[in-house]
């Protein structure tokens, strides 16, 4: 039995609970003294649900102990050390090391956001910790600034410690929270977790991407005024990392990939951040990075970009290459289920009930307004869509891409790492990959990689009948005659910012037999009395880079 002296309790005959230092959804954390070893510790008192039956309470206690013991096996400098797990009066307690310092959330609140180099250091430490946990079959499931402790480290720098594995999940075990309520922080919760259909290591990586954005800007990119708004932001809205994320944008973009099958993995994200720390430049993902192919539009906030003066119109895309394979049905089902959750939560339905519902595979559902890619008509290589390409048999959601409505018409400042701002004589500015050279071809302007393998094209023209959608559909109808081997063509009506737009995506046989098929992303939109067409064309084997180039070009495009 625990003993009490005044306001002091002693549990397990040795741990004296002295003062409360934290409270969360899973219980209370106490500053305590281990009277046997004479050291300060932190003790987490797990809250029990009084509504559970005796058998259910026992099962909950057993799960807590099993998971805590598994976490205690994780020896890593950036994972909280678990010293002991005890039961007192049928209540579990987890005894951990006491960290001399507050949380990352506290630090941001007191001192403001961190710079890119410090964010990279935090990311490296947490990715290393997550790799260790995931290798041991442990998922954290609640990565957020409040669950990251920062211990003053003197000359060696502050130590970053991942803590609060209270809702962690151990592979092969029923999780502590699987009996009825969603536990976690929606602003940092991956879309696939929201649906209750799937949780894996990739979900922790999404949360880390959101955490890095918060560390850099002071606010999660998914913060909204209501739970329904947060869910909609996570599932549908255009993902807009803060401008401060520019130096490490390839990592943030890769982690905030809605399709978990295509999300940047921990090892590659850590490598990229280490390169940034060493060189000040963030590389793109290495060729062959497992599963990474950006499909969601992750646009850098352009509060510092000028967006006023329109220029000309758009043309039809030129030949380009390989189509991106549609996402697996299971992944699509996850996102559809999460989409339904967001829509229903916005309507006032109980979020906890919705989030725990396994909505199976989703064939139907409305046409949500989402952050999908936008393309435009034009005889040019195309643009990168904002959402995963829908399968041929299942129509995809209507996509609406919006820019920040309060973006000020200021001058542009910096380009993402690995890019340069090109102020073109034809009346626009955009970020293009370093090393790309400008080639003018009549009314079109191209920026091309070495050997003209990847082609980024821009056309400015007067508006045409039918607007962007009409232009793109006419171009698509002519596709077989203008692009040999034209196939998999698709035109999607959408918006770019608040402007009408259309996205055309297709595959064709390419310029030469040796090079093989190419894929094109082409976005056309109408703005300020002009029509703009931006496209990217690349061989099928380089479609990953092409998507990123396309996204950055469209997101940073500024008429002048």
Binding residues for ATP: 44
Please choose, from the candidates 447, 508, 108, the residue with its C-alpha nearest in 3D space to the C-alpha of residue 320.
Answer: 508
Please choose, from the candidates 510, 499, 508, 509, the residue with its C-alpha nearest in 3D space to the C-alpha of residue 534.
Answer: 499
- H helix intervals, 478-542: 479-482
Say which DSSP state 152 is in: -
Q: Which residues contact 276 (CB under 8 A, 6 or more apart)?
A: 116, 117, 120, 247, 248, 251, 282, 417
The Cα–Cα gap between 136 and 450 comes to: 44
Tokens of residue 524, six digits? 């056309």
Rg (C-alpha) for the chain, rounded Å, is 26
Query: Is beta strand 148-151 parallel, antiparallel or unpaired with respect to 82-88?
Result: unpaired
Distance of alpha carbon 316 from its chain centroid, rounded? 32
Q: Which helix (H) or strand (E) holds 545?
A: helix 543-556
Q: Are 143 and 211 in contact (CB under 8 A)?
A: yes
Tokens of residue 393, six digits? 């048999």
Please choose, from the candidates 221, 523, 481, the residue with its C-alpha nearest in 3D space to the C-alpha of residue 386.
Answer: 523
Q: Which residues contact 37 (CB under 8 A, 6 or more apart)?
A: none
Give the DSSP per-residue string, 368-435.
--B-------SSS-B---SSPPPPSSSPPPPEEE---TT--------PPTTEEEEEETTTEEEEEETT
- Label each residue of 23-43 as H, E or C: EECCEEEEEEEECCCCEEEEE
Binding-site residues sit at 44
Query: For residues 348-357, b (16+ Cβ closer than 10 Å) or e, as one string?
Result: eeebeebbbb
User: Phi/psi of residue 45, each to 5°?
Assistant: -95, 115
The Cα–Cα gap between 82 and 137 comes to: 17
Please choose, from the candidates 543, 536, 545, the residue with its C-alpha nearest in 3D space to the C-alpha of residue 456.
Answer: 536
Q: Which residues contact 423 (CB under 8 A, 6 or more apart)?
A: 429, 560
Say which DSSP state 197 is in: S
Q: Out of 34, 100, 135, 142, which one is annotated catalytic?
A: 142
Q: Give the side-chain half-sphere CA count within 13 A for 20.
A: 7
Q: Verify whether residue 142 is a known catalytic residue.
A: yes
Tokens of residue 358, six digits? 């396994």
Say which DSSP state 78 is in: T
The Cα–Cα gap between 9 and 268 comes to: 47
Task: Give me the active site residues, please.
Answer: 142
């Amino acid at each position: 039995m625990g003993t009490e002296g005044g306001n002091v309790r002693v549990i397990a005959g040795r741990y004296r609970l002295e003062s409360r230092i934290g409270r969360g959804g899973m219980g209370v954390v106490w500053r305590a003294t281990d009277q046997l070893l004479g050291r300060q510790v932190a003790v987490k008192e797990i809250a029990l649900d009084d509504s559970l039956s005796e058998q259910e309470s026992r099962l909950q206690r057993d799960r807590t102990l099993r998971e805590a013991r598994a976490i205690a096996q994780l020896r890593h400098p950036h994972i909280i050390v678990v010293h002991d797990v005890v039961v007192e009066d049928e209540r579990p307690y987890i005894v951990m090391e006491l960290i001399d310092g507050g949380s990352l959330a506290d630090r941001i609140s007191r001192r403001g956001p961190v710079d890119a180099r410090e964010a990279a250091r935090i990311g490296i430490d947490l990715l290393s910790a997550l790799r260790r946990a995931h290798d041991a079959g442990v998922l954290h499931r609640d990565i957020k600034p409040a669950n990251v402790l920062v211990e003053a480290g003197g000359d060696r720098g502050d130590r970053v410690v991942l803590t609060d594995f209270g809702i962690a999940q151990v592979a092969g075990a029923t999780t502590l929270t699987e009996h009825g309520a969603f536990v976690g922080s929606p602003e940092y919760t991956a879309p696939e977790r929201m649906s209750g259909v799937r949780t894996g290591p990739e979900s922790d990586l999404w949360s880390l991407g959101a955490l890095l954005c918060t560390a850099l800007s002071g606010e999660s990119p998914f913060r909204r005024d209501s739970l329904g708004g947060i869910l909609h932001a996570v599932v549908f809205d255009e993902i807009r990392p803060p401008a401060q994320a520019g130096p490490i944008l390839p990592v943030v973009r890769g982690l905030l990939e809605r399709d978990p099958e295509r999300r940047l993995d921990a090892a590659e994200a850590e490598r990229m951040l280490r390169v940034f720390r060493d060189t000040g430049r963030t590389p793109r993902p290495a060729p062959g990075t497992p599963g990474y192919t950006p499909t969601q539009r992750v646009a850098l906030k352009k509060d510092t970009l000028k967006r006023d003066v329109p220029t000309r119109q758009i043309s039809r895309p030129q030949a380009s290459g390989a189509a991106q394979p549609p996402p697996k049905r299971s992944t699509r089902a996850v996102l559809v289920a999460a989409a339904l959750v967001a829509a229903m939560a916005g309507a006032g339905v109980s979020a906890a009930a919705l989030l725990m519902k396994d909505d199976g595979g989703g064939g139907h559902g409305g046409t949500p307004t989402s952050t999908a890619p936008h393309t435009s008509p034009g005889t040019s290589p195309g643009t990168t869509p904002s959402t995963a390409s829908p399968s041929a048999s299942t129509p995809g959601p209507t996509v609406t891409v919006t820019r920040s409505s309060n973006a000020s018409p200021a001058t542009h400042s910096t380009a993402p790492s690995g890019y340069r701002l090109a102020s073109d004589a034809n009346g626009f500015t955009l970020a293009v990959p370093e090393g790309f050279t400008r080639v003018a071809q009549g009314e079109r302007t191209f920026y091309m990689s070495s050997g003209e393998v990847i082609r980024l094209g821009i056309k400015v023209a007067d508006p045409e009948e039918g607007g962007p959608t009409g232009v793109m559909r006419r171009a698509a109808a002519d596709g077989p005659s203008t692009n040999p081997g034209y196939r998999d063509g698709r035109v999607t009506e959408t918006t770019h910012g608040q402007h009408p737009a259309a996205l055309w995506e297709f595959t064709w046989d390419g310029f030469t037999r040796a090079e093989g098929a190419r894929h094109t992303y082409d976005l056309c939109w109408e703005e300020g009395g002009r029509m703009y067409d931006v496209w990217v064309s690349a061989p099928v084997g380089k479609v990953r880079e092409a998507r990123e180039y396309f996204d950055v070009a469209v997101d940073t495009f500024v008429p002048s």
